[in-house]
Amino acid sequence: MGIPEKIKKIEDDLHRTQVNKKTEHHVGLLKAKLARLKLELEEAQSRKSGSSIGYDVKKSGDATVVLIGLPSVGKSTLLNKLTNAKSKVAAYRFTTLEVVPGIMEYKGARIQILDLPGIIEGASSGRGLGKRVLSVARNSDLVLFVLDVFQPEARDILVKELKTIGIRVDQKRPNVVIEETGSGGISVSTQVKLTRMSEELVKEMLRVYNKNSARVFIREDIDDDQLVDVLLGSRVYIPSLTVMNKIDLVNAGFTNELMKKLQYKFIPISAEGDVNLTALREEIYTRLNLIRVYMRRRKGETDYEEPMVVRNGSTVLEVCNKVHRRIKDEFRFAQIWGRSVKFGGQKVGINHTLLDEDVITLITK
């Protein structure tokens, strides 16, 4: 039996099986096997075609946002409004066939926004422009779902398509560590009680991935899908934001009803009519969780014009890396003025965590 037939067999079995406490073990194992087979199939396919999937998109700016939506929802119109880009806009589906980048400048940050071709259901398994498009999202810092006010249900489809290619939206990486050991079998230590899978299932799922000797540390009440994600190791976890476009076509009552009815939060906008785009810019910036750090030359002026923009939680090291690749080798200490220190001009090491609007002087050898 070839890999596709094996996949089909397991999928059929999964469809037939009702999920409950009694079948939990069986289902978990099937999922582990299925994910492994799909990975093998993918590897075989990419070996055969010899090409790497995905468009070549040069990352630039301080962070990258991708626009994900069905065809004709207004992604390109939105890109053109938020950035300096000129992506083609038209009233037919699949107007955009390439990845079109633009830069949005906001609060001193340069945020790259990528306009992608429209996604349709089944894209992740090759429909439409499919996988190549979706894979661009893997390297982004934020997914911006663009919906049409008359198709709010599209969000579920988009989330599902991203999930299929290994992108988890608005989820945290499961708090599980697997340390492979040369011998000694599998030991599982849990910090919380597992309510959705047994330790025995954890062990058997590891064996599906040929991890026969390992120490597993589980620090949250994970389910089988999360363990599969950890075992595959190639999942990315990206936050998202949702906009409901074309609200110029409906009245306020319609939008309010949607807000009450839908499970997710969204920002109502009209890309064409310029409605709420300022609020959207601010939300994008906030969601990216960036901070600004101002450079002060030694005994000199502070450059408030062009801040260094880094992720919240960054240390002096990240700033060094942004200034120049080699500067960390010559680094002696930094002086900081701002909220991350007790007094102005305090000396700190390379691992000091910075806060928004800190002023920094790098002292090198």
Ligand X SMILES: Nc1nc2c(ncn2[C@@H]2O[C@H](COP(=O)(O)OP(=O)(O)OP(=O)(O)O)[C@@H](O)[C@H]2O)c(=O)[nH]1
Rounded Cα distance between 328 and 319, Å, is: 9
Stretch that binds Mg ion, among 67-75, 159-167, 249-257, 354-362 (CB under 5 A): 67-75
Q: Nearest approach, Cβ of 129 to ligand X (angstroms)? A: 10
Contact status: 338 vs ligand X (CB under 6 A)? no
Q: Nearest approach, Cβ of 150 to ligand X (angstroms)? A: 11
From the list ligand X, Mg ion, none, which binds 237 (C-beta under 5 to 8 Å, kind-based)? none
Nearest to 106 by CA among 281, 279, 358, 288: 281
Rounded Cα distance between 15 and 5, Å, is: 15
User: Which one of residues 33, 75, 132, 296 is an interface residue with ligand X (CB under 6 A)?
Assistant: 75
User: Which one of residues 91, 183, 278, 351 is an interface residue with ligand X (CB under 6 A)?
Assistant: 91
Contact status: 95 vs Mg ion (CB under 5 A)? yes
User: Which one of residues 80, 83, 96, 314 is an interface residue with Mg ion (CB under 5 A)?
Assistant: 96
Stretch that binds Mg ion, among 28-36, 68-76, 121-129, 194-202 (CB under 5 A): 68-76
Joined together, the tokens standing for residue 228 give 């599969």
Q: Which is nearer to Mg ion, 271 or 316 (CB)?
A: 271
Contact status: 83 vs Mg ion (CB under 5 A)? no
From the list ligand X, Mg ion, none, which binds 68 (C-beta under 5 to 8 Å, kind-based)? none
Give the CB-nearest residue to Mg ion. 96
Site size with ligand X, rule: CB under 6 A: 25
Contact status: 113 vs ligand X (CB under 6 A)? no
Contact status: 190 vs Mg ion (CB under 5 A)? no
Rounded Cα distance between 165 and 158, Å, is: 11
From the list Mg ion, ligand X, none, which binds 94 (C-beta under 5 to 8 Å, kind-based)? ligand X
Q: Which is nearer to Mg ion, 78 or 218 (CB)?
A: 78
Q: Nearest approach, Cβ of 249 to ligand X (angstroms)? A: 5
Contact status: 90 vs ligand X (CB under 6 A)? yes
Contact status: 242 vs ligand X (CB under 6 A)? no
User: Which one of residues 33, 61, 69, 76 is an interface residue with Mg ion (CB under 5 A)?
Assistant: 76
Contact status: 340 vs Mg ion (CB under 5 A)? no
Rounded Cα distance between 214 and 273, Å, is: 57
User: Which one of residues 54, 71, 122, 239 is an interface residue with ligand X (CB under 6 A)?
Assistant: 71
User: Which one of residues 133, 205, 271, 320 is an interface residue with ligand X (CB under 6 A)?
Assistant: 271
Footprint of ligand X (CB under 6 A):
69, 71-77, 89-91, 93-96, 117-118, 245-246, 248-249, 270-273
